[in-house]
């Protein structure tokens, strides 16, 4: 059985510390429920001593979230530790996370304390926390810039004092992967009691290396990774949860490790955190960005259509993503273009595909992205002159008023035969369209209807544009008349005739 990596999510604590990412109690709880559904092992719910609001949020999460460990952060002081415990006490599985800086720069300028004093305070804090809570995690803050010999002494002492998880933070994102991996290995080799604790890592992204550093640490023996959804957090953020999880999953051949994460919940979790924090996910963001599974290059599109694995190492569905992978633009090739036409319901022969593709390339030079409606317009423009008038308007009679149900009686001509029928509707135009649908037996859904005046005066010419959906395709029709009902009927019939033609 594969060894498991513990996923420690700190979106609600470190993630919320990102400037502008403040969450209220309900929003925090909503995210906590989704994190539980996602399958994270530990939720760091907050820093209870920081504010009454944060205390209440952590307490509510501890009371309502059942499966994961609920963790609260505390500085190495009795007040912090006591407050943290009061907040997480209702949890089924509670943890206190104590931290104290150990690097020379932090000890000298921030704490103004010597090594022996820091060591004494760390041990005292862990012992005090262990007296009231069974699960204690300790972080030597700024561990990656701490003198190694002193770091070994601190880690050994706090494990002896009762810490069962030792978290090694790259607090300012200073390390690079080989260096950070070596630090984790050196702890395993130089701390005599290290096997009595789980080694955790908490990497920041100041140099864009948080995920790389975390994975390097895992390769060297770390078995808990601290991360946030979308990588949000202080300054440049934290290691991104989704990138870590999918890195371990996709490269199982390298890591040989598993997580408890239900990956199909990743995209939903990402969008929830984005919506509640107001932090948009960049289109090029790995795993959850809008462009993560989209291809515009013709070479890439051709490869994906032939064999998906040529250019996709993750399937969008694996992370709960629903996205159209083939994006048409100026770099797209004919293979993708032909497949897109098929998806839209258009069956064109090779010469027609060639004609429309040439027009598409001209349009793509003017637009960043060509949408489905653009393609529909190109196809229909190409066949416009060849569409026979399968159905032609002969006469119509409308009954409508404030106290009667609108009714349309229409006579159409098809193949020199006359057809007549009537229907009622919500208005005169709706009644007309229902009558035509009944007579032609072509079922459509009206997507858009618009009317505008194309000339001035009382006898102005009115132009009606309609867009219909039929059999997966979107078809447009347009007609003009001084009578808007007549224009509406003729526009609809033009679209119906195009549908008939496309079917053939």
Q: Domain 3-277 carries which CATH code?
A: 3.20.20.70
User: What per-residue confidence (pLDDT) applies to 501?
Assistant: 79
Domain boundaries, the chain: 3-277, 298-385, 392-503
User: What per-residue confidence (pLDDT) applies to 344?
Assistant: 67
Determine the Cα–Cα distance for residues 379 and 493; give it in Å rounded to an integer.
18
User: What per-residue confidence (pLDDT) applies to 481?
Assistant: 82
Q: Indicate whether this model's pTM tops 0.85.
A: no
Compute the CA torsion angle 71, 76, 82, 87 (nearest 10 deg).
Answer: -20
User: What per-residue confidence (pLDDT) applies to 295?
Assistant: 42
User: What per-residue confidence (pLDDT) applies to 499?
Assistant: 84
Residue 504, classed as helix, strand or coil, is coil
DSSP 109: I
HEC secondary structure over 39-76: CCCEEEEECHHHCHHHHHHHHHHHHHCCCCEEEEEEEC
Determine the Cα–Cα distance for residues 504 and 500; give it in Å rounded to an integer.
7
CB 261 within 8 A of CB 38: yes
Determine the Cα–Cα distance for residues 37 and 261; give it in Å rounded to an integer.
9
* CATH superfamily placement of domain 392-503: Alpha-isopropylmalate synthase LeuA, regulatory domain (3.30.160.270)
Both tokens of residue 457? Answer: 């005066």
Phi, psi of 124 (to 5 degrees): -60, -40
Of 432, 439, 488, which Cα lies nearest the Cα of 478?
A: 488
DSSP 101: E
Q: What is the pLDDT along the chain (504 residues), one digit of tens a residue?
A: 679 999 999 999 999 888 888 889 999 999 999 999 999 999 999 999 999 999 999 999 999 999 999 999 999 999 999 999 999 999 999 999 999 999 999 999 999 999 999 999 999 999 999 999 999 999 999 999 999 999 999 999 999 999 999 999 999 999 999 999 999 999 999 999 999 999 999 999 999 999 999 999 999 999 999 999 999 999 999 999 999 999 999 999 999 999 999 999 998 999 899 989 888 888 788 888 776 555 444 544 445 446 655 655 677 677 877 655 555 555 666 676 777 677 766 677 777 777 777 777 776 676 566 666 666 666 666 655 567 788 999 999 999 988 899 999 999 999 889 999 999 999 999 999 999 999 999 988 999 899 887 656 665 678 888 988 887 777 888 888 888 999 999 999 988 988 887 776
Determine the Cα–Cα distance for residues 415 and 122; give it in Å rounded to an integer.
93
Place of tokens 């119509």: 396
DSSP 461: P
H-helix segments, 133-233: 148-161, 177-190, 210-219
Helices vs. strands in the chain: H and E counts, helices first: 17, 16
Determine the Cα–Cα distance for residues 319 and 242; give it in Å rounded to an integer.
9
Query: How far are the Cα atoms of 38, 249, 406, 425, 498 from residue 430, in angstroms, in the given order?
Result: 47, 54, 9, 5, 20
CA–CA–CA angle 194, 196, 202 (5° rounding): 60
Phi, psi of 289 (to 5 degrees): -70, 150
CB 339 within 8 A of CB 332: no
CB 133 within 8 A of CB 96: yes
DSSP 112: -
Cα R_g (the chain), whole angstroms? 33
Give the 3-state secondary structure percentages of the chain, helix then strand then coil, rounded to 5: 45, 20, 30
State whether the Cα torsion 471-474-475-479 is positive or negative: positive
Q: Which residues contact 146 (CB under 8 A, 6 or more apart)?
A: 102, 103, 104, 140, 154
Query: How far are the Cα atoms of 118, 185, 214 from residue 171, in angstroms, in the given order?
Result: 18, 19, 12
Cα Dmax for the chain:
103
Distance of CA 299 to the CA centre of its chain: 26
State the CB neighbour count (10 A cutoff) for residue 376: 19
User: What per-residue confidence (pLDDT) applies to 288?
Assistant: 82
Place of tokens 């102005």: 460
Helix 78-88 and helix 115-132, axial crossing angle in degrees, nearest 10 = 30
Both tokens of residue 454? Answer: 């194309």
User: What per-residue confidence (pLDDT) applies to 102?
Assistant: 97
Determine the Cα–Cα distance for residues 226 and 234; give it in Å rounded to an integer.
14
């Amino acid at each position: 059985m594969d060894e498991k990596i513990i996923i420690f999510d700190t979106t609600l604590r470190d993630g919320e510390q990102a400037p502008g990412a403040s969450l209220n109690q309900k929003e925090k709880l909503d995210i906590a429920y989704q994190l539980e559904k996602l399958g994270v092992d530990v939720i760091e719910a907050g820093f209870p001593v920081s504010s009454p609001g944060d205390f209440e949020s952590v307490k509510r999460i501890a009371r309502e979230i059942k499966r994961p460990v609920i963790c609260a952060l505390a500085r190495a002081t009795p007040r912090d530790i006591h407050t943290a415990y009061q907040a997480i006490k209702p949890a089924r599985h509670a943890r206190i996370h104590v931290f104290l800086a150990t690097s020379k720069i932090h000890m000298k300028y921030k704490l103004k304390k010597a090594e022996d004093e820091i060591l004494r305070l760390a041990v005292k804090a862990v012992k005090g926390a262990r007296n009231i809570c069974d699960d204690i995690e300790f972080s030597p803050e700024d561990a990656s810039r701490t003198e190694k010999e002193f770091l070994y002494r601190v880690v050994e002492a706090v494990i002896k004092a009762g810490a069962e998880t030792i978290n090694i933070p790259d607090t300012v994102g200073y390390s690079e992967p080989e260096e950070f991996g070596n630090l984790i290995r050196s702890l395993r080799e130089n701390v005599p009691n290290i096997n009595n604790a789980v080694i955790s890592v908490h990497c920041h992204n100041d140099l864009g290396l948080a995920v790389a550093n975390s994975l390097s640490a895992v390769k060297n023996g770390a078995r808990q990774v601290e991360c946030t959804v979308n990588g949000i957090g202080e300054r440049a953020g934290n290691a991104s949860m989704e990138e870590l999880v999918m890195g371990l999953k996709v490269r199982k051949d390298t890591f040989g490790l598993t997580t408890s994460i239900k990956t199909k919940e990743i995209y939903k979790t990402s969008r929830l955190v984005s919506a509640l924090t107001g932090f948009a996910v960049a289109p090029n963001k790995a795993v959850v960005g809008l462009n993560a599974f989209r291809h515009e290059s013709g070479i890439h599109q051709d490869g994906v259509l032939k064999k998906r694995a040529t250019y996709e190492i993750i399937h969008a569905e694996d992370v709960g993503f629903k996205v159209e992978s083939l994006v048409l633009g100026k770099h797209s090739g004919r293979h993708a273009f032909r497949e897109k036409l098929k998806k839209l319901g258009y069956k064109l022969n090779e010469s027609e595909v060639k004609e429309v593709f040439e027009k598409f390339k001209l349009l793509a030079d003017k637009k960043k992205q060509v949408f489905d409606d653009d393609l529909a317009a190109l196809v229909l423009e190409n066949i416009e002159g060849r569409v026979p008038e399968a159905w032609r308007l002969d006469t119509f009679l409308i009954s409508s008023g404030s106290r009667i149900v609108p009714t349309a009686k229409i006579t159409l001509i098809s193949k020199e035969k006359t057809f007549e029928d009537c229907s009622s509707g919500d208005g005169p135009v709706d009644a007309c369209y229902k009558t035509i649908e009944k007579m032609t037996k072509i079922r459509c859904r009206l997507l858009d209807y618009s009317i505008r005046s194309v000339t001035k005066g009382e006898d102005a010419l009115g132009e009606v544009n309609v867009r219909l959906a039929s059999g997966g395709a979107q078809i447009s029709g347009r007609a003009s008349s001084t009578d808007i009902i007549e224009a509406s009927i003729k526009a609809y019939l033009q679209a119906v005739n195009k549908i008939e033609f496309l079917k053939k």
